[in-house]
């Protein structure tokens, strides 16, 4: 019962902060084990390839390491642990303006008394970033626009500055 409650909490938490929705280009993930024999470390400076299950989508792929569960969400995937750690990556919406990511970050910051949105370089791309507390959990959103579609990387109970989160986020490969 605790497992189900934690899962429902995680889902509700990200539904709460899932800013925009709309038509998406999603596909079923191709879950294949990653056979990298590199380091088992989880620090971003030492990892070249994260070991775990690779999940492939139309616009990106990501590796879910051992100990993390996965769930398909609209436009992408949510990785989570029953202890509440969450990383969600998705592309959503269509025909949005270039400033929509900044507006979404400002809205989250305003609604949840978060940090002032700033531009952050991540994965070779520029994202609008804000950190806030919602439902008693610290969360960070990284948001950017790509051809009228919002790319969102959302984290709860950690963010890119957390070594394990950084390793997972760095495993994202855009198609």
Q: What tens digit of pLDDT does each residue of 81-100 get?
A: 999 999 999 999 999 999 99
Q: Which of 21-30, 149-158, 160-169 has the lowest mean pLDDT?
A: 21-30
List the one residue out of 63, 65, 60, 64 whose CA is nearest residue 76: 60
Average pLDDT over residues 111-117: 98
Going by C-beta distance under 8 Å and a sequence separation of 6 or more, which residues neighbour residue 175?
58, 59, 60, 61
Whole-prediction pTM value? 0.76
Phi, psi of 69 (to 5 degrees): -90, 160
Domains of the chain with bracketed CATH: 2-174 (3.40.1000)
List the one residue out of 7, 166, 133, 134 whose CA is nearest residue 81: 7
């Amino acid at each position: 019962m605790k497992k189900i409650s934690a899962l429902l909490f995680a889902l509700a938490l990200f539904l709460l902060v899932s800013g925009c929705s709309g038509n998406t280009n999603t596909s079923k993930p191709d879950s294949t084990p990653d056979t990298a024999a590199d380091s088992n470390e989880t620090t971003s400076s030492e990892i070249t390839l994260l070991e775990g299950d690779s999940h492939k989508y139309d616009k990106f792929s990501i590796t879910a390491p051992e100990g993390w569960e996965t769930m398909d969400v609209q436009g992408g995937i949510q990785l989570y642990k029953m202890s509440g750690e969450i990383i969600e990556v998705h592309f959503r919406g269509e025909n949005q303006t270039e400033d929509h990511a900044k507006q979404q970050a400002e809205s989250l910051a305003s609604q949840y008394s978060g940090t002032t949105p700033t531009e952050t370089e991540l994965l070779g791309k520029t994202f609008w970033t804000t950190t806030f507390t919602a439902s008693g959990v610290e969360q960070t959103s990284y948001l950017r626009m790509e051809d009228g579609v919002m790319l969102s990387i959302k984290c709860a109970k950690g963010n890119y500055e957390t070594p394990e989160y950084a390793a997972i986020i760095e495993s994202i490969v855009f198609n």
